[in-house]
Every structure is written in structure tokens, then in C-alpha cells.
Amino acid sequence: MNVRKMLFALTKQGSPFHYRKHFCAVPNLSWGLLEWEADLAVVTNSGWLWEVEIKVRSADWHIDKEKAKWVLMEKPGALVPRRFYYAAPHELALRWEVFGIPEWAGVVGVREDPQGRLSTTILRRPTDRVAARKLTPEEQLKTARLASMRFWGENHRAILRQEWAARTKT
């Protein structure tokens, strides 16, 4: 299972991160709000930030411990997500204890059935982070703006690739 499929599963109906359930859900948020990249940032209707870190291989879990985000989150005044989850293919997510993840992190397993339908299961609930604060209305709007930029940027790039491919064929 790849990251794109995981993002789709995490934000589809029935998932705790469903984009219609919350104010905003932004994939690959790498600048503008946080000082690190969030695979999926979710702003709840009540203004809390949740983060989901996606892992598709066991090596990804080990690499995660070395990321600068853990130091950046501890900086005074840093915007800390209230809830933090790891999401992985279900069989890999079941092994979360082996990877030594923080005690406050939640774990979500993503499954794909033989018909290609995706589903999510929370295997461990996260603990709300004490250092977290609600996003200000300005930060919430900034996140929505970043979501819009992500959406339109991806779609424009896809169209430009199609146009380029059509031009180079002739």
C-alpha cells in the first residue's frame, strides 16, 4: 500500500479523519503553519490540530525517531498537535509496540479488502497533548488556504503534465 492510498483511506467517509467531519484536512503540510512536514494535518471544527504520520514500511518507523520534528515540537511556543497518530497498513500497525513510539501517540491500521475497499481501525487511542493549544481563527484560515493551494497546485500540475505529454508526442 502506498502513501497516496493511505491518505485516501484516512480521509474517506467512516474514518475519524474524514475531511467533511472536520474544518479542514491537509495532506503533506510542509510549510506555512508547522515547522515540520505533517503527512496529514487535520483541524477539527473546535479548532484543535491533529497530525497523522504515515508509515508504509517498518524502516519508516525507525527513521522517524531521527526527525527534527521531535526537537521542533519541544521549542517554547511551538504549535503542537493536540492528537498525534501513526497510520500504517494494518499488519504493520499491529506491530506498533516493537517500534517504540511515544506513549501519547495513537495508532491507526489501514486495510484494503480483496475488492479494493479501504478501511481504517484505531488500534491505540492517543492521549491529548498538554502543550497543545487551539488554533487561532487566523491559523485556521491559513490552514484552509494551504489546503486550497495544495488542491489547486496538484490539479494544475496534473494538467500541465498532460499538456506537456500531448505537445511532446507530436
Mean pLDDT by 10 residues, the chain (170 residues): 90 85 85 85 93 92 78 74 94 91 92 92 93 91 86 68 75
**Distance from C-alpha of 65 to C-alpha of 69, rounded to nearest angstrom:** 9
Domain span at residue 164?
A: 3-169
pLDDT of residue 156: 63
pLDDT of residue 37: 86
123-83-13 Cα angle (round to 5): 60
Cα dihedral 115, 4, 132, 63, rounded to 10, equals 110
**Distance from C-alpha of 18 to C-alpha of 10, rounded to nearest angstrom:** 7
Number of domains in the chain: 1
> Residue 49's closest CA among 129, 159, 153?
129
pLDDT of residue 48: 94
> Residue 147's closest CA among 30, 4, 18?
30
